């Protein structure tokens, strides 16, 4: 598993813990890495993702709301909501990471941790966010 892939998975786990505990992101991050040490590169990316999502949560959630017609954010499954937060933030703030990489990895996380419908749901919402942002699938070699 690549560093960014493992970083995304760790960030998802921390986002879930952040939402469940209500503790500050720094507290969740510190506890997570104390209990589950990971590779340095994956850890660095996970921390960047968690800090970014926590800082920009309101704007990220609004992008998800706009793209998920007929679905209230609060009614989404926790896993789906946090996969969407993580990946929507990446789409908005990581323009050098290809759209397809972000969406494909989000779908895999949703399938692994969510329900049988999570992958398709996450794919549809993220595709709409990417389209709304004008993100095309132009590979840059970064994943």
Assess if residue 70 is contained within a domain. yes
Assess if residue 141 is contained within a domain. no
pLDDT in the model for residue 22: 87
Read off the CATH number of the domain in which 35 is found. 1.10.940.10
Assess if residue 139 is contained within a domain. no
What is the residue range of 112's domain?
Answer: 3-133
pTM comes to: 0.89
Assess if residue 57 is contained within a domain. yes
Assess if residue 143 is contained within a domain. no
Cβ-contact 88, 63 below 8 angstroms: yes
- The structural domain count of the chain equals 1
Assess if residue 138 is contained within a domain. no
Assess if residue 67 is contained within a domain. yes
* CA pair distance 16, 52, nearest whole angstrom: 15
Cβ-contact 130, 103 below 8 angstroms: yes
Assess if residue 140 is contained within a domain. no
pLDDT in the model for residue 138: 56
| pLDDT of the chain, 143 residues: tens digit per residue | 688 999 999 999 999 999 999 898 899 999 998 887 767 778 999 999 999 999 999 999 999 999 998 889 999 999 999 999 999 999 999 999 999 999 999 999 999 999 999 999 999 999 999 999 887 665 444 44
pLDDT in the model for residue 143: 46
């Amino acid at each position: 598993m690549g560093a960014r892939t493992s970083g995304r998975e760790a960030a998802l786990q921390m986002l879930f813990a952040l939402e469940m505990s209500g503790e500050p992101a720094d507290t969740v991050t510190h506890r997570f890495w104390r209990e589950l040490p990971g590779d340095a590169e994956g850890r660095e990316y996970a921390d960047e993702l968690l800090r970014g999502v926590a800082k920009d949560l309101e704007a990220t959630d609004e992008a998800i709301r706009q793209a998920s017609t007929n679905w209230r954010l609060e009614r989404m499954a926790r896993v789906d909501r946090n996969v969407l937060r993580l990946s929507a933030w990446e789409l908005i703030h990581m323009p050098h990471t290809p759209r397809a990489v972000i969406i494909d990895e989000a779908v895999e996380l949703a399938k692994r941790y969510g329900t049988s419908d999570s992958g398709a749901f996450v794919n549809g919402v993220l595709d709409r966010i990417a389209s709304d942002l004008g993100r095309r699938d132009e590979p840059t070699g970064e994943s």
